[in-house]
Structure 1
Amino acid sequence: MTPLPLLAAAGSVESPLSQGRPMNDHPEGIAAASTGTGRRVVRAACPHDCPDTCAMQVTVEDGVAVKVEGAKDHPFTQGTLCNKVSRYLERTYSGDRLLHPQKRIGAKGEGRFTRISWDEALDTIAARFREISASGDGPGAILPYDYAGTMGLVQWKSMGKRLFHRLGASLLERGICSSAGKEGIRLTLGASVGMDPERFEDAKLILIWGTNPIVSNLHQWTRVQEAKRRGARIVAIDPYRSLSAEKCTDHIAPLPGTDAALALAMMHVIIGENRHDRDYVARHTLGFDQLAGRVKEYSPERVAKITGVPAERIVGLARDYASARPAAIRLSYGMQRYAGGASAVRTITCLPALTGAWREPAGGILLSTGGWLDMNTAALERPDLLQASPNPRPRCINMSAIGDALLEAKPPVRALYVYNSNPVTVAPDSRRVIAGFSREDLFCVVHDIFQTDTADYADILLPATTQLEQWDIHTGYGHLYVLANNPAIAPLGEALPNSEVFRRIAARMGFDEPCFRDSDEDICRQAIDSKNPRMQGMDW
């Protein structure tokens, strides 16, 4: 299906800004752009790391947001928000918000700070970056650490990437979440693509494999339930009897880490009983003979000992899957977070090709829709700026090994800029992570909405805006739409969005490339300036 045009400023719902303006060095200008009297309803998008990427609308009265609700006209999310986001006002107006820049006055980890001005904070950051860049360690001793605290392309994947590329800082491999599964899909299908999520309701058999959508993919679950009401059989494949599994027609519980073996046994049955789609396989696949030879080793009896699933249940599942039309598989990221996870996803992804499930719009497999909409990543991130830096071929550090990097990297990581993430809490091997963050010789900047565990180790602590206070543009990885996020209210206190802070640091570093003067709305326009035919007709 063709994605809808942007849910942007134009339309029946009033936008807070009819014309955007660059956020240069005037926070009062940001506030003025979003204040006003009276009542208005503003289009927004959920910023969280969730496949649903819900369309929201924010009611504002006299400059104060008074209500956050789902936008009923969005074809996928249809006006429903999860419990977390329906209470987003509590986050925005929390008394625990960071509202002013601060600097550390206690030991690292104590979380004791004193208020400073933005000028002092940014001057300190720029001075340390210049000092490190000019040292023998070079700019590669500076590391940005960021992830999906917001999924927006403006506040995550634009101005910060430009700054650190131009600086020549170390690159960050962001492989903490979904890289294995995406690679498995890419190796099999060619890209991170799959079924249209809205077609699941037309399937006759749905395998909910390694996911708990009733709590983690709410709007997909509604379509699964609609399919069930229409007579579809829903099978959960999950070691854990989750709430979703309880509500499925059947639940198959393989031992953790044995998903690939289960899929191989299913293919053993399908090929052995001549239930595969020979015509589809011949016309649209590669490697069938090699696959057929491999799955001979995985009989249901052998795999029963590996997975803990009785052989007769494996045979029954394989027969049901091969005979159902249409048959759909919904994967998610939990089952790819173990050794061999990429191969497991790759193996499962062979199933719909083997049976010709892709012939039907409601057949196939879905892990992520992230590859459908080819946003203009090069324009957003400007990797070409590396060539203007003193370090055009920087090293790359894996975020999952941040503890090791902070303690052992050569040259050492001497400065760390953390935004959209809380590594002291979420990164693996927390003891080493904390030891690394505790280094007195590590200059650490944290830009966040709240004083997180990571913020307790910062030398400079900066206040960030929430989604209600900033421009952004979002794609989903569980649907096929692009959403605009319009700022509904002025930033509280002295909070600034990521994009604006990076602009100001770039200016202090003397970087005069025009891209550092792009407004947030400019960046939104650049994001959708794509040659991908699926993006045609979108505007800002």
Structure 2
Amino acid sequence: MPQPHSTHWGSFLGEVTAAGLRVTPRAADPEPSPLLRNVPAAVDHAARVRRPTVRRGWWEDGPGPDDRRGRDGFVEVGWDEVLDRLAGELARVRDAHGPEGVYGGSYGWASAGRFHHAQSQVHRFLNLAVGGYVRSVGDYSGAAAQVVLRHVLGPSELVSKGTVTWDQVATHTDTVLAFGGMNLKNSAVGAGGISAHVERAAMTAAARRGAVFVNIGPLRSDLPDGIGARWLSVPPGSDTALILGLLHTLVTEDLHDRDFLARYSVGWDSLAEYLWDKDAGWAAAITGVPAGEIRELARRAAGGRTLVTVAQSLQRAEFGEQPVWAAVALAAALGQIGLPGGGFCYGLGSIGHYGRTRVAVPIAAVPQGRNRIDLSIPVARVADMLLHPGKPYDVDGRRSTYPHVRFAYWVGGNPFHHHQDLGRLSRAVRRLDTFVVHEPVWTATARHADVVLPATWTIERDDIGASAFDPVMTAMHRLVDPPGEARDDYAIFAALAERLGAGPAFTEGRDARAWLEWLYARIAKGLADEGLPAPSFDEFWAAGELELPQVEDRGGIIGAFRADPVGHPLPTPSGRIELFSETVAAFGYADAPGHPVWLAPTEVPDPRHPLWLVANQPSTRLHSQLDFGAHSLAHKVNGREVARIHPADAAARGIADGDVVTLFNDRGACLAAAAVTDGVREGVVQLPTGAWFAPLDPAAEHPFCVHGNPNVLTRDRGTSSLAQGCTGQHTTVQLARHEGPVPPVRAHEPPV
């Protein structure tokens, strides 16, 4: 009988048949994600980790920095043996170095379930059994924007992301200036699951009404077909220059909303003074967009309801704070912030939950306990921390120092997907005493670990799928048995906590089922507090899903601010939109001054590396998850990831569709299959992330990935001193047709 389940990219019914696991999308989803086709491959795949496995050097020689990490052999051991050894090592590090010696990495999407949520499990364990851990703050997808928007609009995401709904776009918007586009592959995914994908229908409805969508970026595919989108093909990293040129036109033609700027913002005069020489001609020289077209676009934006959106991709680049801040300034100059379907919305189209109405009841989470130390690093600076303990660095007005971490515990993430310059990351993890991961499959992270504990995947356990921005809560029924000796993260941590004297504190006497009932009871209480009935847990479990009430849309925080900026100020120092921030200016950062500015990229194409590389998110999987799934494999060529190249760049190099090509720079190289298309800007090559890192020689300082992972090429540098975010979206490369034998791809085969 089909049973309900959920992933980050959609809910479905699963049923085991003679042919394997059959997945049927939720009937009420108007446009199910094709990523669901990857799920059946997770059943007992050859890449699964089946038994506790330990790196030979760590097992035989003990903990310590080791250059063999990533290329050493492994041995399988029993659960009791490995847990005893691991508990002893955690106790050693805790007692000798304190919780400051332990890093709780665990960055990643992991499961859509609220209980078997990997980060919650490992952080609770480290807090209760170790006393705390060094944590990460921010995320790879949005760290630069998160920091700058906190200063410009306030710390609440509801004033930057929750400002516009898709229904408003369909009904009210006349023009969408989509810097970085709004690609459906990104909005198909949202943490905790999505019950219905609505983005294409909303954009189509708006286009039929006459709305114009402008896709600003180097890739045509960043807005969907069928909406008549206009493509402004600009070079990577040039968006801020275009925005400043638009602002200059608004000012010189007196199209800006002086009253709005005076009432709702601070710092406009400083920004306006900076704009005096940033005219459309100046912007045209940087972006390649003709000056007349820039002026025409500014006039159109001022002539109707205009929405300014900034994709997360823009801020995943050097000086990534600037296009976000500049886009807020553009929306403020147009005077439409707080109007339905107008103003500014960060990341609309970048994640599935943006543009949706919040759920009216709290979504319960596993309590984390208390971290007794207050040590954190920006998430994308993990290699810096491991390579340079004790080194000072600047972030968001603070001078901090990297702690000396000896033990990294990673659960539910794959840093050898998310991080940049994988050769550097390989060198960094070799500095650890011990590196432990829980993994269902043999990712590159598992291959670099000392201890690999086989974890279940979502379809092998019961859970509850829920999100603060989706009205359907799903009973995630276990669909198949786990392979080998795989265990849930919770069971692993409960056993470790017992060995460290924290078993009762960690479990509170509950098994996994009791925890699910505990979580559900809190959601049911939220319903009761709203005067709404809630079925019993058993009734919910049998029904498979429960619809949750949504907040009635009255414009939210930003709407209230527009209606009464004095009575409902923004959570900023001035209570208004900070186009100039005294706080940021006081930091004194040359790479992040007090208002948005144009800062030219420091790594640009040159004769040795003449092409921009755009390393964006894949359309065939969520990050690197289920890279071996049917949908992911169907879009590779002979098992290799596809690089998209403009016809002129391909012709200059003698490259044809399907050729194996090498992308390379001073950090490394990778192979890919060529796809020649005019959907990318000339001078740009696009290679998505997520192909499992497969170096030809794991010991090489500059890795050569035969599978097509672009993060062997990307630069491990922070966006600026303000946010220290990820800059993995852009780098520069050379491209050549691969000559000679083509190495096989064995990324999805186990190492032992």
TM range (shorter): 0.7 to 0.9
1:524 and 1:296 map into 2 onto residues whose CA distance is: 56
Counterpart position of 1:131: 92
Q: Aligned partners of 2:82, 2:41: CA distance in 1, in Å?
A: 28
Q: Which residue is equivalent to 1:147?
A: 107
Q: Does 1:68 align with 2:19?
A: no
* Counterpart position of 1:435: 427
Q: Structure 1 residue 299: deviation in Å?
A: 1.7
Shift of 1:146: 1.4
Task: Map residues 329-368 of structure 1 onto 2, 5 A cutoff.
Answer: 329-358=308-337, 360-368=339-347
Quick check: 1:319 aligned with 2:299? yes
Over 3 Å counting, the alpha-carbon distance change for 1:285 and 1:438 in structure 2 is: closer
Instruction: Please list the CA deviations of residues 60-82 of structure 1 after superposition, one character each: whole Å capped at 9, or x if unmatched.
Output: 35899732233233xxxx24333
Q: What is the alpha-carbon distance in structure 2 between the residues aligned to residue 538 and residue 176 of structure 1?
A: 40
Q: Which segments of 5 or more consecutive residues in structure 2 lack a partner in the other structure? A: 58-67, 189-196, 348-352, 391-402, 538-752
8 A contact 2:140–2:418 mirrored in 1: no
Choose which of 460, 463, 468 in structure 1 pairs with 2:451. 460
Q: Tell me, in whole angstroms, the C-alpha distance in 1 between the residues paired with 2:531 and 2:48.
A: 40
Q: 1:530 to 1:429 in 2, by over 3 A?
A: farther
CA shift for structure 1 position 237: 0.5
Residues 69 and 86 in structure 1, CA contact (< 8 A), matched pair in contact too: no
User: Does 2:249 correspond to 1:263?
Assistant: no
Aligned length: 480
**Separation of aligned partners in 2, 1:100 and 1:40:** 29
Q: Deviations over 1:33-80 (max 9, x none)?
A: xxxxxx1331x3323xxxxx43x122335899732233233xxxx243
Which residue in the other structure is 2:2 paired with? 40
Change (3 A) 1:290 1:244: same
Q: Distance in 2 between matches of 1:465 and 1:85?
A: 18
Instruction: Give the letter aligned to residue 81 of structure 2.
Output: E
Cα distance, 1:206 vs. partner?
1.8
Once residues 341 and 253 of structure 2 are traced to their aligned partners in structure 1, the CA distance between those partners, rounded to angstroms, is: 24
Task: Name the SS for the 1:402 alignment partner.
Answer: helix
Alpha-carbon separation, structure 1, partners of 2:169 and 2:495 = 46
Query: How many angstroms apart in 1 are the aligned matches of 2:241 and 2:361?
Result: 36
Percent identity between the two aligned chains: 24
Look up the SS of the partner of 1:242 in the other structure: helix
Alpha-carbon separation, structure 2, partners of 1:251 and 1:185:
27
Listed as ranges, the matches of 1:283-302 within 5 Å are 283-302=263-282
CA deviation vs aligned residue, 1:415-435 (integer Å, no higher than 9, x gap): 211222222343223222212
Residue deviations 1:360-398, cap 9 Å, x none?
Answer: 422233324579679979964535x22xxxxx3343234
Q: Which amino acid aligns with 1:348?
A: A
Mean alpha-carbon deviation: is it higher for 213-222 or for 309-318?
A: 213-222
AA in 1 matched with 2:334: T
Q: Does 1:303 align with 2:309?
A: no
Residues 94 and 375 of structure 1, relative CA distance in 2, 3 Å threshold: farther
* CA distance, structure 2, for counterparts of residue 205 and residue 127 of structure 1: 61
Q: Deviations over 1:130-183 (max 9, x none)?
A: 111111x22321212211232644313422222223322222234422111223
Structure 1 match to 2:477:
487
Residue 522 of structure 1, CA deviation: 5.4
Structure 1 position 227 matched with structure 2 position 206: yes
Q: What is the RMSD computed on CA atoms of the aligned residues?
A: 3.6
2:186 to 216, 221, 226: 216
CA distance in 1, matches of 2:436, 2:368: 23
Q: Structure 1 residues 335 and 312, CA, compared in 2 at 3 Å: closer, same or farther?
A: same
Match of 2:516 in 1: 521
| 1:509 pairs with one of 497, 500, 503 | 500
- Equivalent in 3, 8, 12 of residue 57 of structure 1: 12
Q: 1:482 to 1:297 in 2, by over 3 A?
A: farther
Greater shift, 85-94 or 504-513, is seen at: 504-513
| Aligned counterparts of 1:176 and 1:468: Cα–Cα separation in 2 | 26
Structure 1's 406 and 258: CA in aligned 2 closer, same or farther, altered over 3 A? same
Secondary structure of 1:444 counterpart:
strand
User: SS in structure 1 opposite 2:495?
Assistant: helix
Task: Give the SS at the match of 2:387.
Answer: helix
- Specify every segment of 5 or more residues in structure 1 that has no aligned partner in the other structure, as ranges: 1-38, 48-52, 387-391
Say whether residues 1:382 and 2:368 are aligned partners.
Answer: yes
Change in 2 beyond 3 A, CA 1:140/1:300: same
Equivalent runs, 1:189-200 vs 2, <5 Å: 189-190=153-154, 191-192=156-157, 193=161, 194-200=163-169
Map 1:390-469 onto structure 2 (within 5 A). Answer: 392-410=372-390, 412-439=404-431, 442-469=433-460
Q: Higher mean Cα deviation, 231-240 or 285-294? A: 285-294
Once residues 479 and 311 of structure 2 are traced to their aligned partners in structure 1, the CA distance between those partners, rounded to angstroms, is 35
Matched, 1:94 2:85: no
Matched residue, 1:80:
31
Whole-Å Cα distance in 1 between the matches of residues 17 and 89 of structure 2?
A: 42
Aligned-partner SS, 2:105: strand
Equivalent residue, structure 2, for 1:176: 140
Q: CA distance change for structure 1 residues 151 and 307 in 2, over 3 Å: closer, same or farther?
A: farther
Whole-Å separation in 2 of the counterparts to 1:109 and 1:412:
21
> For residues 239-258 of structure 1, what are the structure 2 equivalents within 5 Å?
239-242=218-221, 244=223, 248-258=228-238
Aligned equivalent of 2:253: 273
User: Contact 2:16 / 2:22 at 8 angstroms: preserved in 1?
Assistant: no
Choose the corresponding residue for 1:204, options 165, 170, 174.
174
Partner of 1:160: 122
- Secondary structure of the 2:459 match is helix
Q: What letter corresponds to residue 137 of structure 2 in structure 1? A: E
Give the counterpart of 1:116 among 65, 77, 96: 77
* Distance verdict in 2 for CA 1:474–1:120, change over 3 Å: farther
Q: Which amino acid aligns with 2:136?
A: L
Structure 2 counterpart of 1:16: none
Give the CA deviation at 1:278: 4.5
Moved more, 522-531 or 232-241: 522-531
Q: Distance in 2 between matches of 1:213 and 1:527?
A: 35
Letter in 2 for 1:164: L
The residue aligned with 1:36 is none
2:741 counterpart residue number = none
| CA distance in 2 between partners of 1:176 and 1:530 (Å) | 34
Cα-to-partner distance string for 1:295-331 (whole Å, 9 max, x where unaligned): 3342212222233322111111111111122x22332
When residues 80 and 249 of structure 1 are mapped into structure 2, their CA distance, relative to the original with a 3 A threshold, is closer
- Conserved 8 A contact 1:176-1:400: yes
Alpha-carbon distance in structure 2 between the residues aligned to 1:526 and 1:282: 48
Determine the C-alpha separation between the residues in 2 that align with 1:510 and 1:264.
59
Q: What SS does the aligned partner of 1:450 have? A: coil
Match of 1:50 in 2: none
Note if contact 1:474-1:485 (Cα within 8 Å) is conserved in structure 2: no
Q: Would the aligned equivalents of 1:205 and 1:234 in 2 still touch at CA under 8 Å? A: yes
SS of the residue 1:296 aligns to: helix
> Offset at 1:488?
2.9
C-alpha contact (below 8 Å) 1:103/1:114 kept by paired residues: yes
Shift of 1:235: 0.8
- Give the distance between the partners of 1:536 and 1:500, measured in 2 at CA: 37
Which deviates more from structure 2 when the two are superposed, residues 276-285 or residues 249-258?
Answer: 276-285
Distance 2:250 2:453 in 1: 57
Q: TM-score, normalised by structure 1?
A: 0.78
